[in-house]
Structure 1
Amino acid sequence: MKKILFLLMLSCVLSAQKTQTIPLKQSIKDKKKTAKSLTVLDLRADKTIGAITHNKELYDIKFENDSIAHLVEKWFLEDNKTLGYKDIVLVIKKLKAYDEITGKTRTAKINLEFASFLKKNDKYYFVERTQKILSSSLHPNSEIHKLTAYKIGVAMSKIITDSYEHVEEKLPLEFSDLNNYEEVFKKQNVAIQAPTLVDGIYETYETFSKQVPNAELKLKKNKKGEVTSFRDDEDYKVSSSKIYAYVEDGIPYKVTAVGFMEMMRDGRGFYIISSKEELFPKNNNSAIIVGAAFGGIGGAVAGIIINSAMAKKRKAEGENLYNVYLDTFTGDFVFDK
């Protein structure tokens, strides 16, 4: 009897749950008219997206008729009347919406991972990836369920439009590898696989992952041995905003707006111990001033090196720090919180 009552109550709750559809309203027009097709592969094990609370009611976040592939492909054709020659494949690996409760604060979260590939001669060439957790505070008067659905549409439109800019064919995969593309690419990433890293200065993540530093660049230090600037072969300053990372004595350091942070690695890849708030402070006037002196606005703070021991000590002392990974493909920060 209790089981029957529970099932009836559960049925009432599910039937009372409302639905919020994801609007696909943004433009995904290929201005260069190079895209021929857009195919969606939904590789999620769990096809449900999740629910968000608004005014004490749950709203199930969904694509219309739950047909993500059909809707996105239709969206592409509606926005692109003149077709080109590129066959683009959009892979959906993660897409979850949920409420996160911390104390008395409720936050709407979206955990997503999209990747795009160029299909050519039965090979799939990596183009772009977005992997992030989006969040929005739940204010009583805000229609947070609609905002959550809207953000999903925006994230999807961005990776599609970014994918049109693909220029070179790299990291080819077989169709059977698409569901496990990250592990396949890790094996091709020299920096992740190398037991010892090559000393030098790396202007891009791509050169860092291939372990090919710029031989024309060098570090400039003061009497204390602190890095004060980057220099070219004619001893001119190079803006730190143009430097991705450097390696000294086999130890890699990520150039950030708040200093040089030692990069560590584990089975997932490279990471630094920091936080989104630290790396992107709301009030960063002091960082801008020091950075300007170092080689341009957005440059790293000269001389400040945060090594792994210092970072772990700060974390142990209660600072709100965590492992911020560097995306295996793009080198961008991945914030898991």
Structure 2
Amino acid sequence: MKLATLKNGGRDGTLVVVSKDLQSAVLANNIAATMQYAMDHWDEVATPLADLYEALNSGKVDNAFAFHPADCHSPLPRAYQWADGSAYVNHVELVRKARGADMPPEFWHDPLMYQGGSDSFVPPTASIDVFNTEWGVDLEGEVAVITGDVPMGSTTEQAASHIRLLMLVNDVTLRNLIPAELAKGFGFFQSKPATAFSPVAITPDELGTHWQDSRVTLPLSVHVRNELFGQPDCGTDMVFNFADLIAHVAKTRELEAGSIVGSGTISNVDRSSGSACIVEKRMLETIETGKPVTPYLQAGDTIRIEMFDEDGHSLFGAIEQVVRVIPRP
């Protein structure tokens, strides 16, 4: 099934069920008022929500209305946990190589994770607001899962059973703020502003055969400045699958229902597929020519992140954002 959150209804919005073709929706408030409520009570509400989804797709819902991504917040406007990984180790290796840093061999068998800010996400069509584009504004096209309750110490096999929904991600990064932060030895913070997620979250069964071994096996379409920037395949070169990432987070803590775990930037060893972030292209340019050519995002630049099924239908709707320089308060 497909679920979304409308902006109205307070900070946590209003849950709706969305049709398979993303053309219509129906309120789900008689089942679950918010996405977080649905996550907290998944065993009770999953079947009624699926029944409503089937009725909507069959044209048997009287109170359906047109679905518009611009009316949506991120599926979870805020979450108890947002942990982002680097499952595509090729991406990590490229970035480190370009700045002259060796990659420790353990990165191939022990996932990298950082804990992002989750108190406030931004809607999928909201602007990317910054005070200064000299901070090096970049996008990161990713996939993420929303989990149910995950007990501490869960194995990879156990973790897989707790995956509830999938979303697309734009994990905005301010590249020029990263070096000073990492030099402190304490990880990202200021360099990782608010994240945006796709208008729609979907259950894994919506992917059919393209959900395999806790991986999505479809390309992610990324446009930058209205031009195709990359279509890397999400299943190729994903060293750690989502179950691996969840189990890694759960090694020393439990995850509460509604926790979000991201894949990290989608990246393929085969460079013909392009990139899902600007820094990767800049790193390849640096490796090949000695200096980067492609600029980071500037005021007025646009990005679009989307995924299509084999018939060319959008699965999650698109993340569409424009960079906006705003005055300080």
* Pairwise same-fold verdict (TM > 0.5): no
After TM superposition, the score normalised by the length of structure 2 is 0.25
Structure whose alpha-carbon radius of gyration is higher: 1
Which fold has the larger relative contact order, with Cα–Cα distance below 8 Å and residues 6 or more apart in sequence? 2
